[in-house]
Structure 1
Amino acid sequence: MSELRFSLADVAGVRLAVSPVNETVMSMWALADPVRYPVHLPWIDRARVTLRRPEVATRVRPLTELTWRGCPLPDFLTPAARPNVEMAEQLDQIAATPPAVVVRDLMATTPRRPLSPFGLALLADPRGLLPQLVDAVRVWYDEAIAPDWPRMRALLDADVTYRAAQLAESGAGRFFGQLHPSLRWLGDRLVSDDPFERDFDLRGRGLALNPTVFTDRRVLWNLLEDSLPAGAYPVRAVGTLWEAATPPPGDPLARVLGPGRAALLHLLDSAVTTTDLARLTGMSAGNVSQHLTALHAAGLVARCRVGRHVLYRNTDVGAALLRAPRGV
């Protein structure tokens, strides 16, 4: 069990953001243990084909060795993400990691599992071999993550928007209580039911929270005295990630509403923005907006404004329409 101690400044400093590096690095867990990640089998099948290409396998090997089944991650490899951070910026951040920090973070993983051959080599020469690791992360992102990144990003952005609204409306206690079943808010500290046994004072630095599609069972903490504290938590609705953004074949709703509006209705079981829906469906933002206006006028979709964002979600009528048996 871990405890994170908060001041008022820390509560005010909680922020949510998407981390491209987290998805790239943690995706290796799904590749190594597909039985644990059945929801990602469509991606795993494609990724395995990619990794069998010799030119990819050779360049990605440093990352593979540091993230293979059961390997705890060195903290420098998953830096806290700030809002709107891009992959290139995070790669630069990893590349700038001081050698002493690389050594410290690698050594912190050894009580649970010995280092791999590349891990041992990196421990001996962090300055010389860190560029190889950064290149491995970049190549894996380009080859295995980037083709599906718009789909992943839409799901992650929708979660950030939803959680930010929840935090603003409900406060820290309810927010953390609903973030994950393993978390409990006790007034001035967050208790995490995990095996890590950390007792950490945020000391006014706040906390970065990053949703991820490849974390399944608990919140993973990156808690260091010399970097921004962070937690990676399982994203909502991950089961919809690899669903086709089209109505099921022969769906009568598509014949009545049109395929575009039917597709949107199928995706609106959680609150999302027009931008999110455009990424998921491949439609233009203008087309999505037109369809949503029609669905809203028909009472099938509700909308609300949260800060700069307008969120859309099925009404009870829209949800009932999706659940209604066909042919009755």
Structure 2
Amino acid sequence: MRVSELRFEPADVAGVRFTISPVWETVSSLWVLDNPVRHAVHLSWIDRAGVALRRPEVAVRVQPLRELTRPRRWLPDFLTPAASRADVTLDEQLDQIAATPPDVVVRDLLSTTPSGPLSPFGQALLVDPRGLLSQLVDAVRIWHDEAIAPDWPRMRALLEADVAHRAAQLAEGGTGRLFDQLHPSLRWLGDRVVSDDPFERDFDLGGRGLALNPGVFTDRRVLWNLLEESPPAGTYPVRAVGTLWETSPTPPGDPLARVMGSGRAALLHLLDSPATTTDLAWRTGLSCGSVSQHLAALHAAGLVVRTRRGRHVFYRNTDAAMVLLRAAGGE
């Protein structure tokens, strides 16, 4: 088995942080369109996004991005910059891409060639990075507006719930527990992370820390941005991605729905992992006002707890709620 090793100094352990990247989701989503069978969990999104991409006026403007995200090809690091913080906006990341120095564009493009030759747009960008970079930025924006923005509140809520879960792991068990539970392909060995990885890299973080972000369209393994000249970053598969497109979480004939109503039962079925009011509204089809009322009642009954993290309040089932769910399921 091939592995990569990421070596940590004390400053790197202290510099582990979590981010959410709108640009990463936008760019990586094109891989999903190229292999819908592998990403069957996203079929409802794939159908909608495919319709958008077949529109000629969208296809021609997104083409530069498509050429740099071909299947089984490495991405140039400048295209997916490490998010500076958890609430970074799309515009901020696009400004970061647009400000990439020409020599960095060239360096990052050349670093992808071991995985295959550059596409026609990649070759043109290599020759004229200053003149053509704006076309690439425009392509990312157009694709985000067409394919990601309509579902971004739902995606972001799922990503924020994952970050809240990982932050709790880090606070309760330290860096070792975090990496041991982040993904089955990772192992923490005291001063390094060993990652099952076909590229067999040996990388010293060098005191720069490590940005970690969950990815909706990331599957199977952790993907690393590891160049000596770029901020180190890794993207791992988000938890509970199978719930992302659910709209009817209450099982037919659910006994809890008969006792407490379908809305409150639906929320309990979803709250085995932290979620915000907005996330729950998207996933149940209820209004935010209705979700807030149900959560207030469940909280008063001791069935959910709430935790504030930054600007957001996350809800999660208590042990008492889990007992109710198991009993209703006949376990």
TM-score, normalising length from structure 2? 0.91
Percent sequence identity over aligned pairs: 76
Q: 1:100-111 maps to which residues of 2 (within 5 A)?
A: 100-111=103-114
Structure 1: which 4+ aligned runs deviate by more than 6 Å? Answer: 305-309
Conservation of the 8 A alpha-carbon contact between 1:245 and 1:267: no
What residue number does 2:150 align with? 147
3-state SS, counterpart of residue 111 of structure 1: helix
Aligned-partner residue type, residue 93 of structure 2? Q
Per-residue CA deviation, residues 23-57 of structure 1 (Å, 9 max, x unaligned), is 00000010000111010111001111110000000
Aligned equivalents of 1:26, 1:130: Cα separation in 2: 19
> Structure 2: 5+ residue runs without aligned partners?
none
> 8 Å contact 1:161–1:272 — kept in the other structure?
no
Match of 1:156 among 152, 155, 159: 159
Any conservation in 1 of the 2:180–2:188 contact (CA below 8 Å)?
A: yes
Partner of residue 47 from structure 1, selected from 46, 49, 54 = 49
Q: Deviations over 1:39-80 (max 9, x none)?
A: 011100111111000000000011111112222111111110
Tell me whether 269-278 or 281-290 shows the greater mean CA deviation.
Answer: 281-290
Q: Which residue type is aligned with residue 237 of structure 1?
A: A
Q: 1:304 to 1:167 in 2, by over 3 A?
A: same
The CA deviation string for residues 87-122 of structure 1, in whole angstroms up to 9 with x for no partner, is 000001111111111111111111111111111111
Q: Which residue of 1 aligns with 2:195?
A: 192
Which of 213, 216, 219 aligns to 1:213? It is 216
140-149 vs 97-106, which moves further: 97-106
* CA separation of 1:24 and 1:306: change in aligned 2, threshold 3 A: closer
- Correspondence 1:176 to 2:179: yes
Q: Deviations over 1:279-316 (max 9, x none)?
A: 54565655434322322343433445668865432245
Counterpart position of 1:290 = 293
What is aligned with 1:272?
275
CA gap 1:87/1:208 in 2 versus in 1, 3 angstroms:
same
Farther off after superposition, 139-148 or 247-256:
247-256
Q: Does 1:89 align with 2:92?
A: yes
2:75 aligned residue: 73
The equivalences for 1:26-65 within 5 A come to 26-65=28-67
- 1:18 is aligned, of 15, 20, 35, to 20
Greater shift in the superposed pair: 263-272 or 153-162:
263-272
Q: Please state whether the residue corresponding to 1:233 is helix, strand or coil.
A: strand
Report the Cα distance in structure 2 between the residues aligned to 1:306 and 1:92, rounded to whole angstroms.
Answer: 27
Which residue in 2 is equivalent to 1:238?
241
For residues 307 and 83 of structure 1, do their structure 2 counterparts lie closer, same or farther at Cα, with a shift above 3 Å needed? closer
2:246–2:284 CA contact under 8 A, matched in 1: no
Q: Counterpart in 1 of 2:121?
A: 118
Q: Distance in 1 between matches of 2:223 and 2:232?
A: 11
Greater mean alpha carbon deviation, residues 167-176 or residues 189-198: 189-198
The 5 Å alignment of 1:292-307 reads 292-303=295-306
Task: Using the TM superposition, name which of 207-216 and 301-310 deviates more.
Answer: 301-310
Q: Tell me, in whole angstroms, the C-alpha distance in 2 between the residues paired with 1:154 and 1:187.
A: 32
Residue 167 (1) aligns with residue 139 (2): no
- Compute the displacement of 1:234 (Å): 0.5
Partner deviation per Cα, 1:190-231 (whole Å, 9 max, x = no partner)? 111101222222122111101001110111111223332110
Stretches of structure 1 that go unaligned for 5 or more consecutive residues are none
Equivalent-residue separation in structure 2 for 1:3 and 1:163 (angstroms): 21
Aligned residues: 327
Q: Which residue of 1 aligns with 2:5?
A: 3
C-alpha distance in 1, partners of 2:110/2:297? 58
For residues 248 and 53 of structure 1, the distance between their equivalents in structure 2, rounded to whole angstroms, comes to: 38
Moved more, 92-101 or 139-148: 92-101
